[in-house]
Structure 1
Amino acid sequence: MLDEVSGHIEDAPLSNALSERYLAYALSTIMSRSLPDARDGLKPVHRRLIYAMHQLKLDPRSGFKKCARVVGDVMGKFHPHGDSSIYEALVRLAQEFSSRFPLIEGQGNFGNIDGDNAAAMRYTESRLTGIAEFLLRGIDENAVDFRPTYDGEESEPVVLPGAFPNLLANGAAGIAVGMATSIPPHNAGEVCAAAVHLVQNPEASTQELLKHLRGPDFPTGGELVEDEATLLAAYESGRGSLRTRARWTKEAQKNGTWVIVVTEIPYQVQKSRLIEQVALLLQEKKLPLLGDIRDESAEHIRLVLEPKARTVDAEMLMASLFRATALETRFALNMNVLDGGRTPRVMGLKALLRCWLDHRHEVLVRRSNHRLEAIARRLEILDGYLVVYLNLDEVIRIIRSEDQPRPVLMKAFSLSETQAEAILNMRLRALRRLEEQEIRGEHKKLSAEQKGLQALLGDAGKRWDKIVTEINEVRETFGAGALGARRTKISAAAPVVEIVAEALVEREAITVILSQKGWIRAQKGHLADDAELKFKEGDRLDCLLRCESTDRITLLATNGRVYTLKASELPRGRGDGQAIRLLIDLANEDGVLRLFLPDANGKYLVASSAGRGFVVPGAELSSERRAGKTILALRPGEEWAACVPAKGDHVAVIGSNRKLLVFPLVEVPEMPKGAGVALQKYKDGSLSDVKVFTLAEGLTWRLGDKTRTEPKLTEWLGVRAQVGRMPPNGFPKSGKFGGEAG
């Protein structure tokens, strides 16, 4: 046979070989490494750790053993991977700031919230906690299936019995191939309450369950700032983003001064890195309201934040820190797990609880059947013992006189082979009268237990009542006291403090100067139109905008996009300034149409060079992205040509072909973005200018230093998208209405 296989080469397409091998790797990562099982909430490495420690008899009442011994057993028997990854998993299960309900109790240095690593495994010791005992309860009673280990020498559980709701209580995080999981920790008492409610009300909605399970409960505490609708949507779908913040208090000091004391920080944020981040921002002068930060932590977290001055508002200071630092983070909720059939899928809260409850039901049935079998075996033996006491003399005679007493006993008293063997193995002192009474008492007790178990297995209602009793035991054990008390405060959605930017910058009058070649700068004070300005050789003024240092300036580009510039971040002084293209993503072929401060409550008429346009709300004319936001969709060869306030009831539009058209403003649609509709029709030409005005007041334009108003516009009135007529006498040859643009 070996000769037939040896030297055989089979050709296969590389794409097929790669896809098969990559699929095998992906499945291995998903099933055996990254995703937890919804039934016990454990990944394989955690399950193997707990089972190996169970085999080593490291229960909460025993002594500690070196972690190196535990890691060695896990690696040698169950988990053929590196010892460092196994030890890291063990450490995380023991860290009180990582696990809401630690499954392992550590002795020695297991790291800290500053991010310091645990000591080497040869120095640390560990044992299981009471919570792990609940996860293992029934493991030796055929509660779950076992499978061979990687080398076939041992067997390991496919899943633990899981009397403790570990998946939701401790959460999970992992990255597989093409998918990931991120489940926050929760309060075990609340999880148990929600599970009991689901047992008693199988049709309960997620909203009803959230009355019991209020939201995440992180081991490091903190504050969850999300509204009920956001929480409901996240737990309904299994995906969402939850905002968490540090908890803080304001402490009064001497002479009217005060400090902020942070006592809890968001989950998975390292305290040392948080302090480094704040210190760096202080050094870069990006936190002008904060004076200093001190770490006074000992056993508990205590970060002291000193304001720049006593007049600083505490809420404003914390709002600026929440915006700029890890004192506020977002937890990505992605409840992607292996369900009861070991299929990876994203599950909502109700589905997760149902999966755990169904597993508890299966465990109860299997444990009950296992116990019934054990009772049946014991009752069979006890029945045989009772035969002995009823026929003691004859049994002794047979044993003494017969060479093969077993078959004779079986025939004489209709005994089974098991009963006969048990009788032959009895000790003489077991023939006492007292022993007979004990056997009869045990027989009666086991018979009653057998009857109760048979009734339990025959009635689904009794089984679920039993499960509720077990869940309530977990709730009473781990849902009360210091361990079970809720740590994370659930608050309503925190309002966004819009004035934080103003508070961070000293308010002062400035003038923004933009040159034609795209150089921008700001000078202190409001400059006059005829102020003397210096530019690079061959460059000149394009735009002069008077504003304040706290303003957010809108820039309209000819490419149809809108950008927002913070006035406080513009270069100051009398130099050349900075190229506008270094502040925003603006291509060399695109120019600046306009620089202004839009009225968020107002409306604007925007138009392209092809004469298409629409009305856009002023609130849309801003973008926090460096790449800007598209407002006007342009076709090849077109540019953004106009943006004017939509104050009035009619639109006047004139093209480069010197044709003027006036039509009602209501004919122009309002939209946040788009290509727009035709304002004026051109055969040869393009849009020259557009204006919104009130018809009763007449159309006004500027001619030099004077203005002229045409009250009678009947000749030019029409509907949108017409050609129009030649403008009145005295209309500027430039084809512009002139005057203030915005």
Structure 2
Amino acid sequence: MSKQVPPPEDGPGKEIEPVDLKSALEERYLAYALSTIMHRALPDARDGLKPVHRRILHAMRLLKLDPKEAYKKCARIVGDVMGKFHPHGDQAIYDALVRLSQDFAVRYPLVDGQGNFGNIDGDNAAAMRYTEARMTDVATLLLEGITEDAVDFRKTYNEEDDEPVVLPGAFPNLLANGSSGIAVGMATSIPPHNAAELCDAALHLIKHPNASIEKLVELVPGPDFPTGGIIVEQKASILESYATGRGSFRVRARWEKEETGRGAYVIVITEIPYQVQKSRLIEKIAELLIARKIPLLEDIRDESAEDIRIVLEPKSRAVDPQILMESLFKLTELESRISLNMNVLSGGVVPRVMNLREVLREWLDHRREVLIRRSKHRLGIIERRLEVLGGFLIAYLNIDEVIRIVRFEDDPKAKLIERFELTEVQADAILNLRLRALNKLEEVEIRREFDALTDEKDGIEQLLASEEIQWKTVAWDIGEVRGKFGKDTELGARRTDFAEAAEIDLEAVQQAMIEKEPVTVVVSERGWMRAMKGHLADMSALTFKEGDKLKLAFHAATTDKILVFTTGGKFYTLGADKLPGGRGHGEPIRIMVDMDNDQDIVSAFVHQPKGKLLVVSSAGNGFVVPEADIIANTRKGKQVMNVKLPDEAKLCVRLPVGEDDSVSADHVATVGENRKLLIFPLVQVPEMTRGKGVRLQRYKDGGIADLRVFALDDGLTWQDASGRNFTREKAELAEWMGVRASAGRMVPKGFPRNGKFG
């Protein structure tokens, strides 16, 4: 570490002050982080707005852009916001303004735009010099009472103007319109909700301050997206999300089956998930279609005008629309996951993650604070007016004396104050009174106004003295908002529905995403695998690497799962569509799965979900295992047979199955390397999902050579080296019949010398 050298006391470097780099970086990074959190990324829990949105609405109010007024150019609005309140780029301000007007991005738009403000396809808005805007009724609700000391104001960045710290927020904007943003070390993501439901929950919370999250979620069952769609999230998951302030919602497109005649149909999508660009979605589906990843789909068309209408044409009328849609939900943004992270600024200062009750409570407390401040402001105005009216009444009762004092006294103000015990405000008001107001009717009006203001003052004082009356008033205000945006109104009607995800066979969906084509799976002695196109009849033309040869080959389809059994007792699962093609010699299986180098392939075959296998080790131990229990979803495979060297897995035989899916065999024939044959009932072999198995045949030396499962009534068949079949009937097999784990007897005459059944 170098020694710190102080700057010279005089000379060119005397103004330099040494600063510790670590402290400087910490201080400045913290300042930057706080600035980003508080002034850019996180919304205020009270009005649900970020500073840029708040400044846009405040500037539009100053420009008198009320809902019933004429539109003004967006360039004018952006100029005012940037020049007076928001010292950032004009494009950033305009982008925020545009989003507030998009009815597909914001559930309750705050800006009423005229011109091209973009669309759901992702097209940008026109330049700000071409578009015009004004506020909506929702924006006026957020600003309601801002001139009545409802909120604090602070100096702008150049201290020339004032801007509101927060808006009065008579509308539950945070949850109704949602918010998203990424700060430093934290982020927020709040989806839109239905305003009427939020008002119901807020009213319930006023009546029951300790209301449970469960009850509030009954009133606010989930988000309500501007683009509609269907939420298929479990209710328990939704409850957990609102209870913790973190979670997510699965949202699906809304679709319907449309008959086109003669049994044919098309699927029409009328709503897509929130924040999904329609054009990009269609492009993605078209790309998958070209790549043959969606074999059940024939074509896709966009017939949208003002409403969304995406038409999907199935491959044939036999295609199940549910399976087609499930495969699309799995592969595309027709199903989207919308996150919930209610990280907001509590009181406009402290960032924290709130649950549903805390967010509603923050808004309600803010509304009560606004009510109290507006009431005090109004009370001050009333008291000043009553003071003036009291002076007028004194003047009317003594009009002749007042006129004399005004005409003849040198200092009429001081004389009036002295003569009638008036305040300065009252004396000034009397001196400024016009002569034409000195008639009897004006006196009657003043008395009426005085009495009315006195009653209003009493009412406000009662409100300020009673918390119960304050909450009743807040509830009345919320009830008015609920009436304005009720579910029976066009804007307030719920757009997003809830449904259970259809129970679909995942296997069928998986297969629906693969085009079904015939293939021949080829496995070499050294463990190289490939899938040749078509069902090959002649395997003699197959070529292999030098020193390698064919081990086994079988017919399959690209939608099939291929099971591979190894000498280590493990089963591996491979998709037939994922196997390397027929060009070349394929690839070693060790590249596709995590198979040990000292292990070899025993067998490979097409998976049959209802099938059963008899697995046997070289020592002659074995058991039956259902195929449904050996599927491995990872590269590591699934250990099924427990073997220890020098013992290893040697045979894997599928049990024959009848038309009713039941096992049609009843006996097992085993042949040892000592050429002894044993036949015993299949029921003596246990069914297990994993283990070492039981002894099938006893040997002094060596182990098992081959095994066959058969129906005793049909006899035992084997094949000799010349390809001829020999069958021994039931009666002829009596001397080899025994019980499991016996030694057996020498094979019958004519049995193949290699000890295999063929």
The verdict on a shared fold, with TM-score over 0.5 as the criterion, is yes
Structure 1 residue identity aligned to 2:493? A
The 3 A distance-change label for structure 1 pair 341 and 542 is farther
Structure 1 residue identity aligned to 2:575? K
CA distance in 1, matches of 2:538, 2:169: 77
C-alpha distance after superposition, 1:15-61 (max 9, x if no partner)? 33222222211111111111111111111110100000001110011
Q: Percent identity over the alignment?
A: 56
CA distance in 2, matches of 1:588, 1:22: 51
Aligned partners of 1:168 and 1:184 also within 8 Å:
yes
Q: 2:511 aligns with which of 502, 522, 532?
A: 502
Q: 1:490 aligns with which of 475, 498, 513?
A: 498
Aligned to 1:227: 234
How far off its partner does 1:272 sit? 0.9
Q: 2:640 aligns with which of 628, 639, 643?
A: 643
| Alignment RMSD (CA, Å) | 3.9
Q: 1:251 aligns with which of 247, 255, 258?
A: 258
How far off its partner does 1:284 sit? 0.9
Structure 1 residue identity aligned to 2:243? E
CA distance in 1, matches of 2:428, 2:415: 12
CA distance in 2, matches of 1:204, 1:96: 33
How far off its partner does 1:703 sit? 2.6
Give the TM-score normalised by structure 1: 0.81
Aligned partners of 2:230 and 2:496 also within 8 Å:
yes
How far off its partner does 1:212 sit? 1.6
Matched, 1:291 2:288: no
Aligned to 2:579: 570
Aligned to 1:38: 45
Q: 1:194 aligns with which of 201, 205, 208?
A: 201
CA distance in 1, matches of 2:156, 2:183: 22
CA distance in 2, matches of 1:428, 1:228: 74
CA distance in 2, matches of 1:562, 1:402: 116
Aligned to 1:680: none
Alignment of 1:73-472 (within 5 A): 73-472=80-479
The 3 A distance-change label for structure 1 pair 201 and 489 is same
Matched, 1:703 2:711: no
- The farther-off stretch of 410-419 and 34-43 is 410-419
Structure 2 residue identity aligned to 1:179? M
Alignment of 1:576-591 (within 5 A): 576-578=585-587, 580=589, 584=592
How far off its partner does 1:517 sit? 5.5
Stretches of structure 1 lacking an aligned partner (at least 5 in a row): 607-614, 633-641, 645-650, 657-686, 712-720, 722-726
SS in 2 for 1:453: helix
Structure 2 residue identity aligned to 1:512? V
Matched, 1:552 2:554: no
How far off its partner does 1:530 sit? 9.4
CA distance in 2, matches of 1:529, 1:255: 43
SS in 1 for 2:112: strand
Aligned partners of 1:604 and 1:643 also within 8 Å:
no
SS in 2 for 1:118: coil
The 3 A distance-change label for structure 1 pair 210 and 424 is same
Q: 1:29 aligns with which of 13, 36, 46?
A: 36
Structure 1 residue identity aligned to 2:421? S
Aligned to 1:10: 17
Aligned partners of 1:109 and 1:124 also within 8 Å:
yes
CA distance in 1, matches of 2:489, 2:295: 43
SS in 1 for 2:262: helix
Aligned partners of 2:197 and 2:220 also within 8 Å:
yes
SS in 1 for 2:339: strand
How far off its partner does 1:236 sit? 1.2
Structure 2 residue identity aligned to 1:534? T
How far off its partner does 1:512 sit? 3.3
Matched, 1:473 2:470: no
SS in 2 for 1:169: helix
Give the length in aligned residue pairs: 669
Aligned to 2:530: 521
CA distance in 2, matches of 1:241, 1:301: 25
Aligned partners of 1:319 and 1:497 also within 8 Å:
no
SS in 2 for 1:333: strand
- The farther-off stretch of 73-82 and 537-546 is 537-546
Structure 2 residue identity aligned to 1:490? F
Aligned partners of 2:292 and 2:515 also within 8 Å:
no
CA distance in 2, matches of 1:691, 1:391: 123
SS in 2 for 1:250: strand
Aligned to 1:512: 521
Stretches of structure 2 lacking an aligned partner (at least 5 in a row): 1-8, 616-623, 653-666, 682-690, 692-696, 710-758
Give the TM-score normalised by structure 2: 0.79
- The farther-off stretch of 3-12 and 225-234 is 3-12
SS in 1 for 2:491: helix
CA distance in 2, matches of 1:3, 1:126: 60
Structure 2 residue identity aligned to 1:551? D
